[in-house]
A and B are shown apart, each in its own frame.
Chain A
Amino acid sequence: MKILGISAHYHDSAAALVVDGVPVSAVQEERLSRHKNDAGFPSNAIEWCLTNAGLEADDLDAVVFYERSMLKFERILTSALRTFPYSWRSFPHAIKNSLGEKVWVRGIISSYLGVPRKKILFTAHHASHAAAAFLTSPSRRAAILTADGVGEWATVTAGHGTRAPGATDITLLREIRYPHSLGMLYSTFTAYLGFAVNEDEYKVMGLAAYGRPTMVEQVRKLIRRTPDGGFALAPEYFEYETTASRSYSSRFEDLFGSPRTPFEPIDMETTEGRRFADCAASVQRVLEDTLVEMARALHDETGLPDLCLGGGVALNGVANARILAESGFQRVFVPPAPGDAGCALGAALYADRIYFKNPDRDIPDHPFWGPAVDARELAKAATEDGQTVQELDDARLVERIADDLAAGRVVGWMDGASEFGPRALGHRSILASPQSREMRDRLNRDIKRREEFRPFAPVTPLETADRYFELPSGGARLGRFMSGVFPVRPEYRSALGAITHVDGSARVQTLDQAMAPRLHALLVAFGKRTGLPVLLNTSFNVAGEPIVNRALEGYSTFRRCGIDALVAGGVVVTKAAAPPREVAS
């Protein structure tokens, strides 16, 4: 069967194609449209998925949308009614927003693809998250926990799944419903701290390491635990239900002080800077505690050793590591795309296994479902621009790049198909030596152009990861897709200064040789030169832009920032001095 999954209209729209039970392509719309977090209908992504598989829309057996759009509309209306008359400002906006496109999704898909309406199916939002987490994992039986901002009504779900020939099943047992939402709680603090909602939540996590959780009691006024192990938010501190422009109330400000305005620098030497960091640390602590307790209860209930985590909250690597350490689960699986983009794949797999009851198939355990890089495209453009271009075989290329990295140069690395999900896991990465703090500052300032408090992640071969990082049992698995934050061993913290965060931790990627053999060879070669088979690995983009996809996008990024060398396949480009400005008149 050929099933196309689509997620769209809120954030991170994407398409994924499953053929005979196995993904063949998946890509976020932003990677093709080049608009970060593109939420529009993913026409480019759909077109690429079909073309890549050599299919026409007529060949599809089903198209699955990742949530039930009318149920979502019902939630929006009900929410407006429940908060009457305070929702009068948000009501016109919400209705226009929904009636413009979102509720007509069946018609939009049908007219865009030219497929009959009966072929268009829907899954529940959190069922898509659950499927993306469980059906892509190697686990046969697992507990499932999903958490995000909000889907239709659910914001958190708990259940379990079984994969067996002819008996694959996902059962979501219970849910916590909007407006009570861990994702909205965290996003409210994201807005309060002056960052962009639905985009910069990871900055809050990074900032938390600089602070102390001194405001946990205040945060606990916002979120009360219920006797059944769930939670409820105190509505008087939030405004996301009643206004479209502000998510926290003045009572929230009374509790935590004045919010940070965007563009205001966060200086940890000042009282204000420390207050913001403490605020981030406090909400981070409460989020972790809540998730750990819910996961522990689910473990006690199911008795299963494996947990699959889905939803945007599963991008919180610090919380994931605590769940692994404290909930009782032996293994925790987080897919490479746990957020809404991953729902495109989840919805397609859910339809394949649950709706159509097709036999279970193992899913290749990697994130590389996107478009492949074309090295010739890079060679042509760089040659035309007078850059130094070399074509090398794999062995020589690895040695050459290892030399560059050991000499402190920064390398743009493009290899094969791009990653599906927000993490660069070795196919669209900026690589650098992990050894000095100066490298971290240089990358933040000259290349990524982002806040100086932001940490960078390391990548290291799976077989040596434990030497440099304190990985608990199951930690290496969580590190496969960079989903857990673990301590750097104290004796290596200064030697790994560029990737060791202020609290001594790192969001490490443990690289299995089979997943990215060239990067693995590069790590080994770098290790021979420096004694440390560890590289700084950050996504190949600059602030505000999506991760690069095509070779030319890598090239334009390389030309605009301080990257010293660029690799695509076997082509290496070294930066030449900028030519004088050409004005042809």
Chain B
Amino acid sequence: MTRQVWRTESAGHGIDRSQPISFGFNQFRLEGYQGDTVASALLANGVRLVGRSFKYHRPRGIFGIGAEEPNALLQIGSGARREPNTRATVQELYQNLVAGSQNHWPSLKFDLGAMVGLAGALFPAGFYYKTFIADPKRWLWYEKRIRRMAGLGEPPADADPDDYAHINAHCDLLIAGGGPAGLAAALAAGAAGARVILADENPTLGGQLLLAPQQVDGMAGHLWAEQAQAQLAALPNVRLMTRTTVAGVYDHGLFTMVERCADHLPEPEPHQPRQRFWRVRARKAIFATGAIERPIAFANNDRPGVMLLSAVRGYLERYGVLAGRTAVLFANNDSIYPAARELAAAGLRIEAIVDARPGLSDAAAAAKADGLHVLPGHGVTAARGLREVRGADIAPIDLAGRIKGAAKTLACDLIAVSGGWNPAVHLHAQSRGRLTFQDDLAAFVPDAGAAPYASAGASAGAYDLAECLAQGFAAAEAAALVLGFRTTAPAIPAAAGDPVGAAPALWSVQAPKGARCFVDFQNDVTTKDIGLAHRENYASVEHLKRYTTLGMGTDQGKTSNVAGLALMAAKRGEAIPAVGTTTFRPPYTPFTFNAMVGGQTGEIGHPIRRTAAHDWHAANGGVFTDAAGWSRPMYYATEGLTPQQRIDEEVLAVRNAVGVVDVSTLGKLDIQGPDAAEFLDRLYTNRFSNLKVGRGRYGVMLREDGRVYDDGVTMRLADDHFHMTTTTNHSSSVFQHLEYLLQVVWPDLRVFVTPVTEQWFAAAISGPNARALLADLAPEVDVSNAALPMMGMAEGLVAGIPARIFRLSFSGEIAYEINVDADYGLALWNGILTAGGPHGLKAYGTEAMGTLRIEKGHFTHAEADGRVIMDDLGLAGMVNAANDCIGKRSLGLPDLVAPGRKQLVGFIAAAGERIPVGAQIAALDDLDAVQDALGHTTSQAYSATLGRHIALGLMKDGRAMHGRKVFALSPVLGQRAAVEVVPPCFYDPEGGRQRG
């Protein structure tokens, strides 16, 4: 194990030196402390090179200290928990953490991919648009190789073993960010009694107070934060959430947050979700999300050892780590001076303080007076060194970055840069707030005017600590007041932070031809790429972004977008705000897909509906399929029989004896009211007002555009009471449709509709022995043909259970649909099975049911596919001329009466031939020929009854084609059959059997 060579003796209030933690990085075994991030621990061990860049595979080190990090993306964990592209700066260290660098081969130090970087002149922005211009086959070959070079980390090896959770919450005020402004806001709103959620992405509240020595209320900033946290924790109306990122802003006060419950642990505790996805409805929100320091581009500014100045300070203050031995500091603002003093005091040798500003600010003058090596009006023009910084070239520059004199080289291993700050306006922008450009900050700040939510502190452009606190208090008080809470303005604590000076715009320092100054580190976008985009007229912000990929990496351009925009504005000779801003899209930082899934998969995501007899089906070989969310048995597997043999058995049982099928999934609507009959007349193409009580009728509903919508039998239970059945697929939409008509279109109709699908269990018994079986089951019911004819109904005990018996038939045999209270469903089913033995009863599934209905030529949604009309199905006669129903007006539209429509027909295969699934009907028996289809099959089956394969289908002018010999072709399956076109009903077309 290596010693922590860069750990200082004393500093570091964020770590616990009594708790050493061992972890792995590539082949090395290293040590850090409890409280470290992977980044701080790596730096403590003197590790500089941590990864390779996306495009040029250039060596990269740790650049920042938080969510903004573009470079230090590591693979964390192993196996199914292996997670790519994790920012080392936010990953907390835990015992035996395994981290690996990414995007190199064969090794991090020696990466062959870096050849791309060496030949980089050939690969400017958008080079791929200009080359590999070839036919698609050759492009596929190139693409395969390009894809392997890109892509950063490896995806996880397997399914994620961890659990995730969703949670919803409501609050009066959501505060995003727990720095000084956020803490102040929470203190004020909490004291006023508002329900507050304060969320911060870090493990500890305090924000900037943790990363530089500052004073609040007479104590160290981080201690004040601790005290504020304790005060807030004591308030029952305040929920403090650390390790929680406010990720997205959505409509009507909805915010998403991701809470990392267990990412700081080797693995989640038992029953602990790894991450929790929060959906918060907040009445008000305050964005106190801080600001992100921005770099200044210079040649080779991506070398490991070039870091953000605030990060270098933060690593010392919070983690007790010096990020180098000898440093050059480079900035355009006064934060460089306190930084220099702190770092020097901790033992860092400061070679030079390079201040781009021409004069000496007060802080600069003071530093100079104290003997620090201050170089005003200078800039770092280049970093020296290959795999890490070995020196810095320094030259006089002006504020446009132009070099004004000779450069000299200073030896150093760290270049700390500060180009000012950009307020983190992401959430404000997501909430559709506007941005304005503030010249003295050279930054976009929230336009408070029309903003739906307030911003406070650095995210509002207030960098002074006292001002941050004041804004936090003020924003919370304003929000509390609007929400109706009485506020008691708490005293704003005295605060002393960094001197705040203006940071004049300085985005890059002039570089020699051929040198690369990086703007977007992760995607390897250089100042030259921006120049190229401008030269080629990809000059709008969005073109720039898309052409160069600026800001499209996992950091979403947090350190690069504004600089890219500014450089383009300079090229165009326009002001930055005239060029525009970029769009800020959710999420603020990327988060795990599975957090958003939150375990809502499988049956939790899509519940399975099961009928009351489901367990019987399952125990008796039922092989299930999904029908509109219901689980239905297709057939009952039997030892020694193929599925087709078993289906044949089920079919023949119905044709020759009796079968029973669970039809509970059919939609059922209970319709009552004085106008119920009138309502049905307006729904169905045929009349129901003349239906006798105790009788049923088959009806077809149309869509308003005249196409067939749904069908089923409706029984009249009383003058003002009907029981309607719908197809399984449409049960919910038909209910909705009926309610629409009653509530919106015909509010004068006195009708109530109640969906009762789940309340009834229904079993249909059908076959020549069905009547005898029913007689056994319902000895008190007169089941004679006279008393209970086709489309008749009876009520009475069936298998001892109160039941409604509807006599209707889908199979073409004598059949009864027995409806009972769903709670008695299994009892009825068992009763039928028990009584059925002597009658040769077999249970049958949806496959046999389908075969039986195909033999009868009944249509389902396979035929009525949303494009067909009644006449296509041969049902024009069912449209009652005197009836005026939904959709009828459309039946006269030109296309619905035009000749040449597809019509329902039957197809019967030549003996021994099998009609393929999903076949096209054609004249030529050739699977490879290009030919016009004459039609297609809609459903097919082997008819054990007929001993032939049969099908239903739609065919152009089909009714005129009966007797034609054609071919059913399935080129994708390589199957075909010779078929004859026949009328759609194959079995007992007169219907004598079902009426018998």
Q: Do A and B come from one complex?
A: no
Query: What is the interface of chain A, defined by CB distance below 8 A to chain B?
Result: none
